[in-house]
């Protein structure tokens, strides 16, 4: 159902609401047809569900009963009243599950062959790495990327040893994942630095934790999660 502020609900006529409901029903029918066509010939076991309610709330509840939620980034230009930019954020924060976000623009023939882990040793990043282990084990190449590491004081601040990222690479090796470690130091926005490394290394999947700080702080002051969700160029596996 379309989002509308409480102050505006009483000003929308029943006729308009009825037209909106009809439009949504037709869209659901078209989506079901596309879903059946996509899953009917590839051997996948699939189940179609039609649920009414707020987009983010509905997806969050459904995601809790599945291993992975796969969602689109959404058109950055979409009106906020129809979900738009808000949906991936809220799903990541409220579902308790791993979310794979596919960029709005581009075609992605492969996902997970060449993986980059955005590693800052925080709890969200730690969870993202462990949630991604099945994909990391299947990848041909895995890179642990640390942006602006605090060399020398990293052990006290982040608890990852004197070589940032090395502890995580060692841990991944115990799981059969041969990961290389890389760090980059720059005055650029950390999100832009990550996107630059994605392009340089031909990454087709990024794994990162979402919202290591309070979400309102990131939205107001800017943050890596918000920047990546707004400017992503490859699919991203995110956990909170």
Q: How confident is the model at residue 211 (pLDDT cuts 50, 70, 90)?
A: confident
pLDDT exceeds cutoff 60 at 157: no
Contact of 149 with 164, CB cutoff 8 Å: yes
What is the torsion angle, in degrees rounded to the nearest 10, for the CA atoms of residue 39, residue 45, residue 51 and residue 55? -70
Q: Distances in Å between the alpha carbon of 64 and those of 81, 97, 132?
A: 25, 6, 16
Euclidean distance between CA atoms 78 and 62, whole angstroms:
23
pLDDT exceeds cutoff 70 at 46: yes
What is the torsion angle, in degrees rounded to the nearest 10, for the CA atoms of residue 121, residue 127, residue 131 and residue 135? -10
pLDDT exceeds cutoff 60 at 156: no
Q: Could you read off the pLDDT of 161-185 as tens digits, one per residue?
A: 567 789 999 999 999 999 999 988 8
Q: Could you read off the pLDDT of 5-45 as tens digits, one per residue?
A: 666 666 667 788 788 889 999 999 999 999 999 898 888 88
Contact of 115 with 141, CB cutoff 8 Å: yes
What number is the average pLDDT over the span 62-70? 93
Instruction: Work out the mean pLDDT of the chain and round it to a whole number.
Output: 84
**What percentage of the chain exceeds 70 in pLDDT?**
80
- Model-level pTM? 0.82
């Amino acid at each position: 159902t379309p989002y509308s502020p409480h102050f505006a609900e009483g000003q929308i006529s029943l006729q308009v609401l009825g037209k909106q409901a009809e439009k949504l029903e037709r869209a659901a029918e078209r989506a079901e047809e596309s879903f059946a066509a996509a899953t009917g010939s590839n051997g996948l076991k699939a189940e179609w569900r039609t649920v009414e309610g707020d987009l983010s709330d509905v997806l969050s509840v459904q995601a809790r009963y599945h291993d992975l939620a796969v969602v689109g980034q959404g058109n950055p230009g979409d009106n906020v009243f129809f979900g738009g930019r808000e949906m991936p954020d809220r799903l990541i924060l409220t579902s308790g599950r791993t979310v794979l976000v596919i960029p709005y623009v581009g075609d992605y023939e492969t996902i997970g062959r060449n993986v980059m882990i955005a590693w800052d040793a925080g709890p969200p990043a730690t969870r993202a790495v462990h949630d991604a282990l099945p994909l990391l084990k299947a990848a041909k190449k895995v890179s642990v990327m640390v942006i602006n590491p605090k060399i020398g004081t990293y052990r006290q601040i982040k608890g990852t040893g004197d070589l940032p990222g090395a502890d995580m690479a060692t841990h991944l090796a115990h799981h059969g994942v041969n990961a290389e470690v890389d760090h980059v130091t720059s005055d650029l926005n950390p999100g832009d630095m990550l996107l630059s490394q994605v392009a340089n290394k031909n990454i087709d999947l990024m794994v990162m934790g979402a919202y290591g700080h309070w979400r309102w702080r990131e939205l107001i002051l800017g943050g890596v999660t918000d920047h990546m969700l707004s400017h992503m160029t490859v699919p991203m596996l995110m956990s909170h």
